Amino acid sequence: MSSFGCFKGMLVECDAAMKEYLIWVNEKEGTKFIINSELDETHILIDPSRKEYVKSKMDYLMNQLSFSPLEHEARQEEQNRRYGRK
């Protein structure tokens, strides 16, 4: 007779790059929230009690990868001042 365990999980759908980032965070920070990452290219199963943590990590990455035109213009002006450009 065989036995198996049952567990709760939350399915997260994301692109392949985000999935790799979450796997990296899971390993690097030692906060094991991934239950199964081998479902397919765009899905992982996470511990539902870690939902807010995972969401915060996803939001952080997305904020790092995006900027507004005003932020870009401000950075450009700062660089111009710093390096004496007009």
Question: pLDDT by residue (tens digit) across 8-31?
Answer: 899 999 999 999 999 999 999 888
Q: Note down the domain range covering 65.
A: 10-82
**Buried-exposed string 51-60: b where 16+ CB fall within 10 A, e elsewhere:** eeebeebbee
* Number of structural domains found in the chain: 1
pLDDT at 76: 84
Mean pLDDT for the chain overall: 89
Residue 15 domain-assigned? yes
Least confident of 17-26, 36-45, 69-78: 69-78
Q: How far is CA 84 from CA 34, 77, 79, in A?
A: 49, 10, 8
Does residue 1 register a pLDDT over 60? no
pLDDT at 36: 94
Question: The domain spanning residue 65 has which CATH number?
Answer: 3.30.70.1220
Does residue 71 register a pLDDT over 90? no
